Chain A
Amino acid sequence: MANEKEVVIDVKNLSVGFHVRGKKTNVIRNISFPVYRGETLAIVGESGSGKSVTTKTFTGMLDSNGFISGGSIIFDGLDLAKFKTNDDWLQIRGKRIATIFQDPMTSLNPLLTIGYQISEVLILHHGLSKKEAKEEAIKLLAKVRIPNPEERYNDYPFQYSGGMRQRVVIAIALACRPEVLICDEPTTALDVTVQAQIIALIKELQEEYKWTTIFITHDLGVVANVADRIAVMYAGQIVEYGTVEDVFYHPEHPYTWALLASLPQLGTKDEPLSFIVGNPPSFAGEIIGDAFAPRNEYAMNIDFVMEPPIFKISETHWAKTWLLSPNAPKVKKPKVIEELHLRMKGAATELKRQEGEDYE
């Protein structure tokens, strides 16, 4: 699967740091991964693991105290890691690579009408006339299922609900026909029913427009829905990378195990949920060994002294843990991980009954 696919963004040995109070932090630590064209790559991991910082480098949107300290980001023969000025980014940001953020108001101006904000993009990027832009904008609003788009065209953002605002942001992204759409927790602030609709909309439009999605979320349920591939991040590194099946059904990194095992959906009433003890490491100092070691119940002595290399598990799947070393003792995965599908199937009985479908 992996080999024939075309890579649209190729990240190689990327490192990112920030200037904080006269010191430099090292927040993204030498990561490499491909993003395949037409697919959805989900990036998961704890808060602060570097999901947003990683993708912000794709559009030159790092905060002003941030800098790329090494590596490359190859997109269509260009190395985005070398881009410096706003002029460099002009043809890329928002045009070929667009971003949808958690809070739609980061992308919308509260003082301008919804219609104006979409038309503006169309005039700017596609050189449409005012009238053409308005027609096109209304079409786009209809596309993202805003009811009565002609009437709602002249509304201000505050007149829209959170879910509708996010639809408008999607419409603005659509207006640019991006090749890559970065969705940074686009549904985290929304109600589950609205979230389900927005996700369905993004998937549907992706089918039609054939873009590539990078989907950042901490919700493994959402990941199961949207992802073709998953990158699991921990402390500024990708610790496991594989297809959605690889990562859900055959995870190999103890951090992935811990993340999956803490899902309340896997819990049964009579046993406490498992959780990850402690906190992620600080980026202020140097991280020695495997960054996850202090919280890892499977940690071995070597984890405290030496960073693990990447171990290939299959053509599509790799993980960065000493447990995969041929010399490591064999360990049993947590029971809930082995039973994940079984337990979820149990929990999904109501769906089976309701739809009369077979959830094998």
Chain B
Amino acid sequence: MSKKNLEKPPVSKDVLSPLSNTEPLSVEHPTAQDLREDEMVESVSGMDSSYQEIFNGEEKVESEIPAPKKHKNALDPKDDEFEKGRDITRGTPADDIIVKMRDVRISFKIGTLERVIINHLNLDIKRGEILGLVGESGSGKTTIGRAIIRINKVSGGEITYNNVKISGKIPKKRERLLKTKIQMIFQDPGDSLNDRANIDYIVSEGLRAFHLYDDEADRVNKVTEMMQRVGLRPEYLSRYPHEFSGGQRQRIGIARCMVMNPEFIVADEPISALDVSIRAQVLNLIKQFQQERDLTVLFIAHDLSVVKYISDRIAVIYAGKIVELCSANRLFEAPLHPYTKALLTAVPIPDPKIERKKKIVVYNPMQHHYVKSDAPEFREIEPGHFVRCNTPEFEAMKAELARLGGEKK
């Protein structure tokens, strides 16, 4: 105990009385000065220009579409082609697929070389679900997310959205529509915000570009409401991104995305760059929006523990291939693919007794002995539980499941 503390006067009972409940606890209003102070240790790297391009790209199509009339929602959902798509699957909730990826191939050209990142990818994302996509860096998670929002070109196969093709060449009108329906939340909350624009401009950018408001009062209303929803004071609207902490910037990113009232969100590692103490807040926000608005989310992460909490289903990806897909709980209960097991044992568990007993499983991709005549396929081992395996593996996993017992409720 330090001497200074010992010299403190004895504490009387009344000063130790709990705070009254009416008194507001922490109010979040650091001054710009404070925030800059904290800023100094934060690294801010370059802006994602490719997204910026896409986001601002609507200027090119502007001329082809008559300027939206005021007081009528420019994108009246009733006459858009996505709604027709939705009708086809309506009534069969089990099959209500919002995003369908079929035999998708994504490759990058490096000089004359073509590097294939994703090949023969099939993935269905159900309407209203949060699908977690986990795997290590370089496994292709971001590539997939970016293909859905058309940042990455698809060089084979097809992606559909509400049963309408959205990959490759598509009509301008559809592309424009897509940009209002599908939004993205980025990993680094600093990177994705234009530092020369104030928060009002940033949050309104999409609304303005697609004229998704009646009049100025309506826009201000929408933006103010959204700021409050993400727990930021409307006064902040006149400030600039660098005046905010990482967690606040991520909430600005979410506000910008949610103010568009999207149907589908690609959240690419939205909390990886955040401090542990504020991750929970951002996770809560994403989950709340998803529940309230019947939003569909592709949640990309490398941390299985986070994905378990937030996802309905989880897809595990290794080297561009989805190796296992099933409900979040079941994946933790009965992981079958050796890579999933490796990933599960690698995630540190914040409990010393458990963490120290844990044996780490190391995945060796050579362990499968796949041959041409019995190549691995994505097979359904139990209802809704898919694993990439060949026939002998399939049998072995079935036996393993029988030992483990059925799904616990």
In the complex, A279 Cα to B343 Cα: how many Å?
33
Chain A neighbourhood of B63, CB < 8 A: none
Chain B neighbourhood of A344, CB < 8 A: 349-351, 354
In the complex, A48 Cα to B253 Cα: how many Å?
22
How far does the Cβ of B305 sit from chain A's closest Cβ, in whole Å?
Answer: 5
Contact in complex: B355, A264 (CB < 8 Å)? no
Q: Which A residues from 237 to 277 make CB contacts under 8 A with B?
A: 244-245, 248, 258-260, 262-267, 269, 272-277
Q: Which of B1, B26, B308 contacts A277 (CB 8 A)?
A: B26
How far does the Cβ of A237 sit from chain B's closest Cβ, in whole Å?
Answer: 11
Q: Is A61 an interface residue (CB 8 A)?
A: no
Given contacts A196-B360, A282-B38, A300-B19, contact A264 B283 (CB under 8 A): yes
In the complex, A334 Cα to B207 Cα: how many Å?
42
How far does the Cβ of A27 sit from chain B's closest Cβ, in whole Å?
Answer: 10
Chain A neighbourhood of B350, CB < 8 A: 220-221, 223-224, 248, 260, 263, 265-266, 344
Q: Which of B13, B344, B348 contacts A222 (CB 8 A)?
A: B348
Q: Is B384 an interface residue (CB 8 A)?
A: no
Contact in complex: A265, B349 (CB < 8 Å)? yes
Chain A neighbourhood of B13, CB < 8 A: 327
Contact in complex: A327, B34 (CB < 8 Å)? no
Chain B neighbourhood of A193, CB < 8 A: 136, 342-343, 346, 362-363
In the complex, A193 Cα to B319 Cα: how many Å?
14
Q: Is A297 an interface residue (CB 8 A)?
A: yes
Residue interface mask B323-356, A partner, CB < 8 A = 1? 0000000001111000001111111111111111
Chain B neighbourhood of A297, CB < 8 A: 25
Q: Which B residues from 289 to 305 make CB contacts under 8 A with A?
A: 302-305
Contact in complex: B280, A348 (CB < 8 Å)? no
Residue interface mask A55-91, B partner, CB < 8 A = 1? 0000000000000000000000000000000000000
Chain B neighbourhood of A259, CB < 8 A: 276-277
Q: Is A322 an interface residue (CB 8 A)?
A: yes
Q: Is B50 an interface residue (CB 8 A)?
A: no
How far does the Cβ of A261 sit from chain B's closest Cβ, in whole Å?
Answer: 8
Contact in complex: A192, B309 (CB < 8 Å)? no
Chain B neighbourhood of A350, CB < 8 A: 332-335, 344
Q: Which of B28, B33, B137, B276 contacts A191 (CB 8 A)?
A: B137
- Can you name the residue of chain B whose Cβ is closest to the Cβ of A306? B8
Q: Is B359 an interface residue (CB 8 A)?
A: yes
Q: Which of B6, B276, B303, B343 contacts A220 (CB 8 A)?
A: B276
- Can you name the residue of chain A whose Cβ is closest to the Cβ of B1? A310
Q: Is B172 an interface residue (CB 8 A)?
A: no
Please report the number of residue pairs spanning A and B whose Cβ atoms sit closer than 8 angstroms: 234
In the complex, A347 Cα to B13 Cα: how many Å?
42
Contact in complex: B6, A275 (CB < 8 Å)? no
Q: Which of A25, A265, A294, A309 contacts B37 (CB 8 A)?
A: A25
Which of B31, B247, B309 has most chain A Cβ within 10 Å?
B309
Q: Which of A258, A284, A298 contacts B33 (CB 8 A)?
A: A284
Chain B neighbourhood of A262, CB < 8 A: 276-277, 279-280
Contact in complex: B2, A351 (CB < 8 Å)? no
In the complex, A193 Cα to B280 Cα: how many Å?
23
Given contacts A193-B363, A225-B355, contact A351 B38 (CB under 8 A): no
- Can you name the residue of chain B whose Cβ is closest to the Cβ of A32? B2
Given contacts A301-B19, A353-B404, contact A274 B346 (CB under 8 A): no
Contact in complex: A272, B287 (CB < 8 Å)? yes
Q: Which of A200, A306, A348 contacts B360 (CB 8 A)?
A: A200
Contact in complex: A221, B347 (CB < 8 Å)? yes
Q: Is B22 an interface residue (CB 8 A)?
A: no
Contact in complex: B1, A273 (CB < 8 Å)? no
Contact in complex: A301, B355 (CB < 8 Å)? no
Contact in complex: A267, B309 (CB < 8 Å)? yes
Chain A neighbourhood of B351, CB < 8 A: 224, 248, 340-341, 344-345, 348
Q: Is B18 an interface residue (CB 8 A)?
A: yes
Given contacts A264-B283, A279-B245, contact A192 B17 (CB under 8 A): no
In the complex, A227 Cα to B352 Cα: how many Å?
9
In the complex, A192 Cα to B340 Cα: how many Å?
12
Tally A residues with Cβ within 8 Å of B: 86
Q: Which A residues from 21 to 46 make CB contacts under 8 A with B?
A: 25, 30, 32, 46
How far does the Cβ of A277 sit from chain B's closest Cβ, in whole Å?
Answer: 5
Tally B residues with Cβ within 8 Å of A: 79
In the complex, A199 Cα to B358 Cα: how many Å?
13
How far does the Cβ of B280 sit from chain A's closest Cβ, in whole Å?
Answer: 4
Chain B neighbourhood of A359, CB < 8 A: 353-354, 357
Q: Which of B15, B278, B284, B345 contacts A351 (CB 8 A)?
A: B345
Residue interface mask B238-261, A partner, CB < 8 A = 1? 000000011110000000000000
Chain A neighbourhood of B17, CB < 8 A: 300-301, 329
Given contacts A225-B355, A357-B357, contact A272 B284 (CB under 8 A): yes
- Can you name the residue of chain A whose Cβ is closest to the Cβ of B340? A350
Q: Which of A47, A306, A322, A341 contacts B275 (CB 8 A)?
A: A47
Chain A neighbourhood of B362, CB < 8 A: 193, 197
Given contacts A192-B347, A278-B26, A350-B344, contact A264 B310 (CB under 8 A): yes
Residue interface mask A193-226, B partner, CB < 8 A = 1? 1111101100000000000000000111111110
Contact in complex: A348, B16 (CB < 8 Å)? no
Contact in complex: B358, A351 (CB < 8 Å)? yes
How far does the Cβ of B122 sit from chain A's closest Cβ, in whole Å?
Answer: 25
How far does the Cβ of A278 sit from chain B's closest Cβ, in whole Å?
Answer: 4
Chain A neighbourhood of B356, CB < 8 A: 224-225
Which of A20, A265, A300 has most chain B Cβ within 10 Å?
A265
Contact in complex: A275, B281 (CB < 8 Å)? yes
How far does the Cβ of A47 sit from chain B's closest Cβ, in whole Å?
Answer: 5
Contact in complex: A347, B278 (CB < 8 Å)? no
How far does the Cβ of A169 sit from chain B's closest Cβ, in whole Å?
Answer: 19
How far does the Cβ of B301 sit from chain A's closest Cβ, in whole Å?
Answer: 10
- Can you name the residue of chain A whose Cβ is closest to the Cβ of B14? A301
Given contacts A46-B276, A48-B38, A345-B354, contact A273 B28 (CB under 8 A): no
Contact in complex: B25, A282 (CB < 8 Å)? no
Residues of A within 8 A of B (CB): 13, 20, 25, 30, 32, 46-48, 191-197, 199-200, 218-225, 227, 244-245, 248, 258-260, 262-267, 269, 272-280, 282-284, 294-302, 305-307, 309-310, 312, 322, 325, 327-329, 340-341, 344-345, 347-351, 353-355, 357, 359-360
Other A-B pairs beyond A20-B37, A275-B279, A284-B37, 18, CB < 8 Å: A30-B2, A47-B275, A197-B362, A224-B350, A224-B355, A248-B351, A262-B277, A262-B279, A264-B305, A276-B278, A279-B247, A280-B38, A295-B26, A298-B18, A302-B15, A306-B8, A327-B16, A350-B334
Q: List 7 A-B contacts (CB under 8 A).
A: A220-B276, A282-B30, A300-B16, A344-B350, A348-B354, A350-B332, A354-B361
